[in-house]
Every structure is written in C-alpha cells, then in structure tokens.
Amino acid sequence: MTRHLILEDGTVFAGEGFGSPATTFGEIIFDTAMVGYQETITNPIYDGQMIVFAMPVVGADGIHAEAYESIAPKVRGVIVHDLAEVSTNRQRRMNLDRFLKQHNVPGICQVDTRQLIRHLRETGPQKATIVDVVDDHAFDQLNATVLTNKQVQNTATPKAYANPGHGFHIIVIDFGLKHGILRILGEYDANVTVLPYSTTVDEVLTLDPDGIILSTGPGNPEDLPESVLTLIRVLQTKAPLLGVGLGHELFALANGASLQALPAEYHGMNHPIQEIISQQIFYARQGRGYVVDWHSLNANKLFATHRDLVDDSIQGLRHRDFPAFSVQFFPDGAPGPLEASVIITDFFETVADYVQESN
C-alpha cells in the first residue's frame, strides 16, 4: 500500500507502507549506524520520534531476544530505503514487519532516504507524519500537532525493581533506561537496584549504595523538575556517580553548566572520541540532541574529560571535588564499538576505592 511521509516544512516523500497501517506523527530524526536497527527501535531515548535509517537494507537480521533495549518500542515510526521481508538470522522469531505490527508502529519503505537525510541535515529535526493520502486534512493535522515534553515520564519505571547480583550495590536512577546498561552491569555481577527518577535522597541513601548511575533517557533535560537536579547535587557527594547520555546532561545542569540544542541530532556509531588527558582515541555510539556549552563550565566544579573529534563537543565531564563523572556517549556498546566500555571499568574502579576507604 502506498503511504506518504509529510514533513513539517511541506516536503512529501512517497513509499510503501509496512508495519502498522496507523497514521502517526512525531519528531523525525535520522540514524547513521549500519547495524543495530532493533536496538535502535527499542531504545527508550527515541520516545515520540520517527527514525530514518541510513543503512540501505533494514530487517535482514530479524528480531531476536538479545537485541531488545526495552520491552516495547517507543518510536512513532520507522523510515527505510529497502525492507528485508525474510530474516536471515538463524535465531529469528519474526521479521521486522510483523514486529512493528504487533506494537502498532507504522513503517514506510522505498523512500529515498539519502535525499531525506540530506534534507534533515539542512533543516534539523522537525515534525512529520505518515499518512495514506496527501490532502489538506493531513497538513492541517500535522500543523495542529503538539509534541509532548513528557518523554521521561513515558519511558522511566514508576516503581523500584532489582536486578540482583553478588557484587557492588549499584543504584540506577531511571530516566529511560536502556537494557544495555543492565547487561554490562551484569558482567560485573553488580547487585543493581533501579529507582524511578522521582526518587528522593533518603530513598537512595537508605539502600546504602556503593555507586550511583544516572541513566540514558529521551527528551529535553530542561523539561525535568528542579528536584532532579537537587537530587544529583546531593548524591554526587555521597557515593561515586556516573551519568550517561541524558544523565550526563543532567549532571552538567546540576553543576551550573548550560546546554545547547544541536542543529541536527547525532544518532549513530563509530564517533571518534578523545580522552583529553591521555590523547587516546576510541569509537562510541551516540544518540544526542543537546551538547554541553564549553563556555558555561564552572572551572571550580567541572572539567571536560572527553571531546568529540568531529565537532569538538564535550563528551565527558568530571567533578573536581567528588568522585562523580559523566559521558555523553553510550559506554555499554549496545550496539556498536566495545571500546567505550572502559568508562564502566573506570566507574567500578572508583567504586572499589570508595568502598575500601569507607571500610
């Protein structure tokens, strides 16, 4: 069935529908990674967004249990050039078309994604809709669409839960947690407790954490209440703390830095990251729409530890007085390069030092 992708600026792309036949709308962004479509589609950071995939063929790997980043996808739509209808993965349970149908997510294929991505690079993120018919009603509906700023509330857990282990007790504050973080913590046999972002200082400290992680998540960090920043300011003084993605941005805001929205969001892998002090370079997966302003860093509180060699943006921060640091990129390597997992190693070394000193 022919369907149409309409952008906020009036640009229209025709293609073939797959997945759910529903009409959808959301913010449209693009992902340049050549692998990992299932991890991307199920990543909670894409709540309320439609994703354009740069890889020419999507779906050949099927859907399998190891690649989920959340229980159900939060994306509003999937746009690809060519859809592989038959999975070649021996572990397949279903193909992408069936998976999206089950979760009521519309898709559109046979779209000139190269042209579309070039257009989005020039215009930046904008609203879009997938419809059957291009008419005045479709444009009116798109123009009347108001995108929610409640993405964290939509994706984060409302209740605490445990991911048990026998090692250090790690508290994860959930702002839209991706499963890859839990997987890599499991590799360290960490005893993990996940708490909602609305948790209080007393609720965290009562659990006597050895370390604290501020998770990834969707949306604009400045949409979250001031109480979240107050929570971070206190927790960073109590135990080793690591912020990731949205957690990195919130860590920066809590310590007086400011953020800038990127003209075009960065979503993809193999971004070259340099550790400033050692000059070492490694590659990491990114998914970001904001960047910490270099000029806003309070030299008495924070200093930059990592930078992106593509745009020279801040990719890592560390507090001068407390064992607290953060990274913009994903250190769990799900999917993508595993080199960035050195950040998790550094975190557990910090936790070990903290526990030894406490004893």
Residue 91: per-residue pLDDT: 56
Do 89 and 227 have their domain in common?
no
Share of the chain above pLDDT 70, in %: 98
pLDDT at 171 over 60: yes
Residue-wise pLDDT for 44-100, tens only, equals 999 999 999 999 999 988 888 889 999 999 999 999 999 997 665 555 568 999 999
Do 216 and 98 have their domain in common?
no
pLDDT at 334 over 80: no
Residue 87: per-residue pLDDT: 62
Do 201 and 346 have their domain in common?
yes
* Backbone φ/ψ region at 270: left (φ over 0), alpha (ψ -120 to 50), beta: left
Which has the higher per-residue pLDDT, 213 or 91? 213
Span 151-164, mean pLDDT? 96
Span 142-158, mean pLDDT? 91
Residue 229: per-residue pLDDT: 98
Do 172 and 312 have their domain in common?
yes
Do 218 and 339 have their domain in common?
yes
Q: What residues does 77 pair with on adjacent strands?
A: 50
Do 227 and 271 have their domain in common?
yes
Last residue of a domain, one of 86, 112, 147: 147
Q: What is the 3-state secondary structure (H, E, C) of the chain?
A: CEEEEEECCCCEEEEEEEECCCCEEEEEEEECCCCCHHHHHCCHHHCCEEEEECCCEECCCCECHHHCCCCCCCCCEEECCEECCCCCCCCCCECHHHHHHHCCCEEEECCCHHHHHHHHHHHCCEEEEEECCCCHHHHHHHHHCCCCCCHHHHHCCCCCEEECCCCCEEEEEECCCCHHHHHHHHHCCCEEEEEECCCCHHHHHHCCCCEEEECCCCCCHHHCCHHHHHHHHHHCCCCCEEEECHHHHHHHHHCCCCEEEEEEEEEEEEEEEEECCCCCEEEEEEEEEEEECHHHCCCCCEEEEEEECCCCCEEEEEECCCCEEEECCECCCCCCCCHHHHHHHHHHHHHHHHHHHHC
User: Which two structure tokens, joined as six digits, stand for 126?
Assistant: 């904008």
pLDDT at 277 over 70: yes
Cα dist. 100→52, 63, 76, 299, 317 in Å?
15, 10, 10, 47, 38
Do 112 and 175 have their domain in common?
no
Cα dist. 220→128, 202, 257, 287 in Å?
19, 26, 15, 13
User: Which two structure tokens, joined as six digits, stand for 292?
Assistant: 């910490």
Last residue of a domain, one of 126, 147, 168: 147
pLDDT at 241 over 60: yes
134/44 Cα distance (integer angstroms): 30
Q: Identify the CA nearest to 183 among candidates 67, 275, 96.
A: 67
Span 12-26, mean pLDDT? 96
Residue 276: per-residue pLDDT: 97
What is the band of 353 on the pLDDT scale with cuts at 50, 70, 90?
very high
200/231 Cα distance (integer angstroms): 7
83/271 Cα distance (integer angstroms): 26
Residue 271: per-residue pLDDT: 87
Residue 145: per-residue pLDDT: 86
CATH number of the domain at 21, please.
3.50.30.20
Do 258 and 189 have their domain in common?
yes
Do 172 and 143 have their domain in common?
no
208/148 Cα distance (integer angstroms): 36
Residue-wise pLDDT for 288-318, tens only, equals 999 999 999 987 899 999 999 999 999 999 9
Span 118-139, mean pLDDT? 93
Residue-wise pLDDT for 312-327, tens only, equals 999 999 999 999 999 9
What is the band of 174 on the pLDDT scale with cuts at 50, 70, 90?
very high
Span 229-249, mean pLDDT? 98
Return the number of other C-beta atoms located less than 10 Å from residue 296's C-beta: 15
148/157 Cα distance (integer angstroms): 18
Span 136-164, mean pLDDT? 92
Residue-wise pLDDT for 126-136, tens only, equals 999 999 999 99
Last residue of a domain, one of 131, 147, 163: 147
pLDDT at 240 over 90: yes
CATH number of the domain at 314, please.
3.40.50.880
Which of 15-24, 150-159, 331-340 has the weakest average pLDDT? 331-340
Share of the chain above pLDDT 90, in %: 86
Residue 73: per-residue pLDDT: 94
Q: How many domains does the chain have?
A: 2
Do 214 and 306 have their domain in common?
yes
Mean pLDDT score of the chain, rounded to an integer? Answer: 94
The range of the structural domain enclosing residue 121 comes to: 2-147
b/e per residue 263-294 (b: at least 16 CB within 10 A):
eebbbbbebebbbeeeeeebbbbbbbbbbbee
Strand ranges of the sheet holding 281-292, from the earlier edge strand across to the other edge: 161-163, 191-196, 169-174, 211-214, 241-244, 324-327, 314-319, 302-308, 259-275, 281-292
Do 143 and 157 have their domain in common?
no
Instruction: Provide CB contacts within 8 A for 201, sequence distance 6+.
Output: 231, 234, 235
Do 193 and 339 have their domain in common?
yes
At what angle are helices 246-254 and 226-235 packed, to 10 degrees? 80
Return the number of other C-beta atoms located less than 10 Å from residue 295's C-beta: 8
